[in-house]
Chains A and B, each alone.
Chain A
Amino acid sequence: MSESVAAEHDYIGLSEFPTMETTPIMSDTTKTKTRDNNNNTNNNDDVLNFKATELRLGLPGSESPERVDQRFLSLKSSCPVSGAKRVFSDAINGSTKWVFSPGSATDVKDIKPAVPVKEKKSSTAAAPASKAQVVGWPPIRSFRKNTMASSQSQKQGGDNNNNSETEGEAKSGPEHCLYVKVSMEGAPYLRKIDLKTYKSYVELSSALEQMFSCFTIGQFGSHGGCGRDGLNESRLTDLLRGSEYVVTYEDKDSDWMLVGDVPWEMFICSCKKLRIMKSSEAIGLAPRVMEKCRSRN
């Protein structure tokens, strides 16, 4: 219905504007100036609470990476553009000139670079990994950008267990996030946590307890290495007897292991996923853990 192009667009009688070219904006607006001043309430600085109410992925309070692609920061005319994209950034800084003096061709010609592309490329050779960019350029859909970002991170991650929520390009090293999914049997939701924010099993345990607080989670936390202090079966059954649920994780080899058996650093390097499961299901894991430890030593 919206497609029917009504022929009555002339009805206003505006198909010819002999006078429009000569009608300057300013003279009209002097009459409305006083009204503008009363309209400040319409232009509130705080943009309501839309950010607070929108649906986002991830933990409350965290920025959903799919919404905020930090490589594409919006470029305000007041911010200096960092980075070595010299010529382009000059033009963008100069864009404020366009805004305030429309139609003056001379201003714009000054800004236009005559520098060939090759030169630009060499000047950007030393650009830092994250640079201020123009919003929405190049015109690639967010879905694609996010998918490619997580693809790259999975390739470069190597030992890291980078899942789809990592931001930007992942490098191995302590400064980047290690998001893992945490699911719980019987719970209607799954969460994602950043393992880098915890320093020990104790911290992780309390965080999980808080997250899935309606269920009890067994205590874990043997800091001894495999086969050293003797991760033995009796120890495990102690753990398991005490509670209904245990925390397990999927490691690099896609095996499911009990959390708490290896040193923390080793754990975060190999953990891909966490799962809180019923202890009755976890009993079968113990022998595998033992075997793995034996084969490692």
Chain B
Amino acid sequence: MDLRLPSKVLEHIFSFVDSNEDRNSVSLVCKSWFETERLTRKRVFVRNCYAVTPAAVARRFPEMRSLTLKGKPHFADYNLVPDGWGGYAWPWIEAMAEKSPALEELRLKRMVVTDECLEKIAASFKEFKALVLTSCEGFSTDGLAAIAVACRNLRELELRECIVEDLGGDWLSYFPETLTSLVSLDFSCLDSEVKLSDLELLVSRSPNLKSLKLNRDVSLDALGSLLRLAPQLVELGTGSFSDKLDQEAVSKLSQAFTELKELKSLSGLWDVLPEYIPLLYSVCPGLTSLNLSYATVQMPDLVELLSRCSNLQKLWVMDLIEDKGLEAVASSCKELRELRVFPSGADVDETNVALTEQGLVSVSEACPNLESVLYFCAQFTNEALVTIARNRPNLKCVRLCVMEPFAPDHKTQQPLDEGFKAIVEGCKGLQRLSVSGLLTDKAFEYIGTHGKKLRMLSIAFAGDSDLMLHHLLSGCESLNKLEIRDCPFGDTALLENAAKLETMRSLWMSSCGVSFGACKLLSQKMPKLNVEVIDEHPLKTRPDSSPVEKIYIYRTLAGPRLDMPEFVWTIHKNPEIGVSNLAIE
């Protein structure tokens, strides 16, 4: 009896499978499931643009409508990846223009996107609906104009923290009068002024507009008139909040805010003046997400605001909130799930010392749903970490940045090993961890032993020896991304655990002790990995014992990439090194 389900039935069943992780599992079951799944997948995520070729993706998923790509390694955010390393969007856009012209959505993160790319998108994808660029660079406002003018059904245009060559605000005027489909517009990272009249016209003909994030140049006055045109907004990013307004204008603006009945998310608020904080009170009870990370107001004003946000789930704020402010958050925002506290000063010396480990402890005590934390702080203690772990075993993401490298527990002068042990032991579902402060190999032994669900780990200025890496690679079963800088290990652990690297998306190591010879050896043994040696200042002769500045290792089916700059070496640049020269037992 043939037990196979007809593909129509399979298709119907698979249409309920949303998560791509599940879809990946589905496609491994058998050939017919693989076939059916691939013909029905609409949203494709390629989390490393060099892991697979564009052609292969287009071939496998002919019904693809939405493509998400990530390019540079995460540490590129902190200037650790030299310019010109790669992550170019062009080959993908070119390939999809030819093979998947029905593409509707493109989401790119940490990629180099040129005006040419944007023009190609505008010209090639007739049903294009959504362009979301996060931490991208390489394009100018001319490219935006091309998108605006050509994409007749555009729903989303979001530029999140991109570096854009700003040639003026005219790009906005290129949206045709016939465009009424806009749902989300985010140009908060742009520099120049857009014409208010263009913006008002656009907003007033976009009845579906739910998310609007303005840039700093949009004045408070303008904000008022925009809000009156779009009271249906669910997400708002204001412009600069510091213009001087007269009494009448203030009350008009206040009124406009009270009309925002659907507002759930608020951001922007650059340079907000304390006297304008009360304008926001009316929307506070409805907010689930509040980004105050550019709001340079002091603790008392923050407390006034936050004590009214009883439904808040996500809070991003600066250390100006201090411990006292976080106590207030703890008592008012019981629904809190995600907390990020950024430093207000540029470096350690300017860190606000009224924010200590106590602030995070208070929040962990009182907020039962807290699962994600990013916390910049001058110093920490083991006791605090133990308490936090005990209070919040449901934490999934813990990123602690003690600003001073090698800072020990400031009460006991001990390393923070025991504290992080408590975190990984207590928070059994922990998926993401960034460690800091003084740490010995022991800390990593603990992480390797207990961090079984850990997928992403970031380490800087830590550990004593190679053992540290060995613990991690041999212990953390779910490890997917590992990024390390300035830690003292070299070749042994890396080579011993080479096979592990194929089960991970990527490994980044910079200013560690890995030698060139080890990189070559690893490349030899593991043809399915790209081992990239990044050396902006290579020695004239590169003996095998010489240390490399940075290495980036990732699994790939695409083989060597063709767009490597001079300062990136892979073994494919030395084809004459034969396998026989590096014996593998």
Contacts and interface: CB of A to CB of B under 8 A. Distances in A.
Interface stretch (A147-155, A198-206, A228-236): A147-155
B544 A54 contact: no
B583 interface: yes
Contacts of B538: 43, 45
- Which of A10, A95, A114 has most chain B Cβ within 10 Å? A95
A42 B406 contact: no
Interface in A117-131: 117-118, 120-121, 124, 127, 131
Contacts of A92: 486
Nearest to B438: A112
B405 A35 contact: no
Given A4-B27, A12-B525, A141-B77, A37 B342 contact: no
B61 interface: yes
Given A10-B499, A21-B492, A43-B538, A138 B376 contact: yes
Chain A, interface SS category: loop
- Which of A10, A38, A112 has most chain B Cβ within 10 Å? A112
B168 A190 contact: yes
Given A3-B20, A32-B520, A32-B544, A108 B410 contact: no
Given A67-B83, A117-B404, A137 B513 contact: no
Interface residues of B, number: 126
Contact of A100 (B80, B487, B513): B513
A136 B78 contact: yes
Nearest to A88: B405
B79 interface: yes
A28 B407 CA distance: 40
A95 B486 contact: yes
B248 interface: no
Interface stretch (A181-189, A261-269, A283-291): A181-189
A54 B87 CA distance: 14
Nearest to B26: A4
A87 to B, nearest CB: 8
- Which of A102, A143, A183 has most chain B Cβ within 10 Å? A102
Interface string B107-126: 00000001000000000000
Nearest to A184: B168
A91 interface: yes
B270 interface: yes
B17 interface: no
A214 interface: no
B413 A71 contact: no
Nearest to B164: A57
A295 interface: no
A297 interface: no
B566 interface: yes
Contacts of A105: 464-465
A50 B491 contact: no
Given A25-B491, A36-B541, A142-B79, A71 B294 contact: no
B39 interface: no
Interface in B416-456: 434, 438
Given A36-B544, A147-B294, A190 B167 contact: yes
A39 B574 contact: yes
Contacts of A28: 517, 521, 544, 581-583
A154 B271 contact: yes
Given A9-B503, A140-B342, A183-B168, A25 B515 contact: yes
B208 interface: no
B544 A33 contact: yes
B569 A55 contact: no
B581 A31 contact: yes
A103 B360 CA distance: 35
Contacts of B21: 3
A116 B412 CA distance: 9
Contacts of B525: 12, 14
Interface stretch (B1-9, B135-143, B230-238): B135-143
B60 interface: yes
B24 interface: yes
Contacts of B48: 2
Contact of B405 (A17, A55, A137, A155): A137
Contacts of A76: 537
B535 interface: yes
A102 B488 contact: yes
Contacts of A40: 540-541
B362 interface: no
Nearest to A149: B346
Given A26-B545, A57-B166, A100-B547, A138 B138 contact: no
Contacts of A15: 499
A82 to B, nearest CB: 14
Interface in B503-517: 503, 505, 511-515, 517
B169 to A, nearest CB: 9
A20 interface: yes
Interface string A78-115: 00000001011001100100111111110011001110
Interface string B287-322: 000000110100000000000000000000000000
B403 to A, nearest CB: 5
B446 to A, nearest CB: 18
Contact of A37 (B80, B347, B408, B541): B541
A133 B535 CA distance: 20
A221 to B, nearest CB: 27
A183 B217 CA distance: 15
Nearest to B489: A102
Nearest to B533: A43
B379 interface: yes
Contacts of B90: none
A171 B80 CA distance: 29
Interface string B544-585: 110100000000010000000111010001101100011111
Given A54-B83, A102-B489, A142-B77, A71 B346 contact: yes
B138 A47 contact: no
A40 B461 CA distance: 32
B84 interface: yes
Interface of B: 20-21, 24-25, 27-28, 44-48, 51-52, 56-57, 60-61, 75, 77-80, 82-84, 114, 135, 137-140, 161, 163, 165-168, 170, 189, 191-192, 216, 270-271, 293-294, 296, 342-344, 346-349, 376, 378-379, 401, 403-408, 410, 413, 434, 438, 458, 460-461, 464-466, 485-492, 495-496, 498-499, 502-503, 505, 511-515, 517-518, 520-521, 525-526, 535-545, 547, 557, 565-567, 569, 573-574, 576-577, 581-585
Given A1-B57, A3-B20, A29-B543, 15 more contacts: A17-B498, A36-B541, A45-B538, A47-B84, A47-B565, A47-B566, A88-B406, A104-B465, A134-B405, A136-B485, A142-B79, A148-B344, A151-B296, A181-B192, A189-B168
Interface of A: 1-5, 9-10, 12, 14-15, 17-21, 23, 25-26, 28-29, 31-33, 35-40, 42-48, 50-51, 54-57, 66-67, 69, 71-72, 76, 85, 87-88, 91-92, 95, 98-105, 108-109, 112-114, 116-118, 120-121, 124, 127, 131, 133-145, 147-149, 151, 154-155, 164, 181, 183, 188-190
The list of the 9 closest CB pairs from A to B, nearest first, reads A102-B490, A136-B78, A29-B544, A102-B513, A50-B84, A98-B488, A19-B585, A143-B161, A43-B538
25 contacts: A2-B47, A2-B505, A15-B499, A26-B544, A39-B573, A43-B539, A55-B165, A57-B165, A57-B166, A72-B79, A88-B404, A99-B511, A99-B513, A99-B547, A103-B513, A108-B465, A113-B406, A118-B410, A120-B404, A136-B75, A136-B485, A138-B403, A140-B342, A143-B163, A164-B191
